[in-house]
Structure 1
Amino acid sequence: MTITPFAGPADSAAYFSARLAFHTDVADVHAALTAGAAGFTVVDSRSTAAWDQGHVPGAVHLPTAQIPQLAAEFLDPARPVVVYCWGPGCDGATRAALALATLGYRVKEMLGGIEYWVREGYEVETREGTRRSAPDPLTAPVDGADCGC
């Protein structure tokens, strides 16, 4: 048993359903983009230097501090947004998602950020062109297979 009691099944279902409404992961975003059926816009909320270092192909660069001024210029308010920042140790994507939601956008945060995008072996665009790293065996199957989750 744990120190804190387990929630009941109905409370657990409500919590996990809500969590999935607010978060997505890099594998799901990659799969949707690869299939050409994303139905959302990917936003990189990091600085220009970070963007140049590497970003999700096709993403829109919209640094968090500039969202209030520039969102309407770069985003369709009828299209949902998936936002990311550096990684799980950074709240930048959470702040960007809050800024977008405050402006009326439907938004999800991509868990893992660009760190896990790279660690799972997905291609990134950089100032010098595209690159891909080998999958990290601690985060993704090294044979390119689906993780089964």
Structure 2
Amino acid sequence: MTSTSTTPRTAPSPALSVPPAAPAEAAAFFAARLAFQADVSDVRASLDAGDPGFVLVDSRGSAAWAQGRVPGAVHLPTADIPDRAGELLDPAVPVITYCWGPGCDGATRAALALARLGYRVKEMIGGIEYWIREGFPVETPAGVERRDTDPLTAPVGSVSCAC
């Protein structure tokens, strides 16, 4: 049972063993995170709007790309960015990168490579894993398919968690 009492604790809370940052520091940190990351629901809503204002880059290798990808994404494996970004991407258009999922830093490495080349870039947190888990469409060699929404990661029957 958890307590919501304001009675002082005799032992420090494990969650607060490092105290929260000052509000101004917290605001700067969270604003920075939003400047560097976008979630799959926001990326999908933007793509569904028709003119998202960015290009979505799948930074995985060819086998992963063939296995399934976000419809409309550009395939640009991280290793190819230095040689191919200029032919595939307009430097005036922001880029959002994705890779496998939260356990993979491929999208981060791709975003870093693009930023070093002068592109404005964000990373799609959750990657293709959370795109699929939220029930969004995936393009495969057989066409576009959809899987059921994982009720532990997204609301079933809704495009957004309304957060």
The residue number in structure 1 matching 2:149 is: 135
Structure 2: where are the runs of 5+ without partners? 1-12
1:37 is matched with which residue? 51
2:93 paired with 1:79? yes
Deviations 1:18-44 (A, max 9, x none): 110000000000000001131000000
RMSD: 0.8
**Corresponding residue number in structure 1 for 2:17:** 3
Q: Distance in 1 between matches of 2:114 and 2:72?
A: 19
The answer as to 2:115 corresponding to 1:101 is yes
In structure 2, the partner of 1:67 is 81
Post-superposition Cα deviations, 1:36-69, rounded to whole Å, max 9, x if no partner, equal 1310000000011100111011000000000000
The amino acid that maps onto 2:153 is: T
Q: How many equivalent residue pairs?
A: 149
Aligned residue number for residue 7 of structure 2: none
The Cα of 1:72 is off from its aligned counterpart by: 0.3
Secondary structure of the structure 2 residue equivalent to 1:109: strand
Could you tell me which amino acid in structure 1 is paired with residue 119 of structure 2? Y
Letter in 2 for 1:44: D
What does residue range 4-19 of structure 1 map to in structure 2 within 5 Å? 4-19=18-33
Q: Secondary structure at the match of 2:52?
A: coil
Taking a change above 3 Å as real, the CA distance of residues 4 and 92 of structure 1, as seen in their structure-2 partners, is: same
Distance 2:60 2:44 in 1: 19
Structure 1 counterpart SS, 2:79 = helix
| Equivalent position to 2:138, from 121, 124, 129 | 124
Tell me the percent identity: 67
8 A Cα contact 2:59 2:75, kept in partner: yes
Greater Cα radius of gyration, structure 1 or 2: 2
Letter in 1 for 2:45: A
User: Equivalents in 2 of 1:145, 1:132: separation in Å?
Assistant: 13
Q: Does 2:126 match 1:112?
A: yes
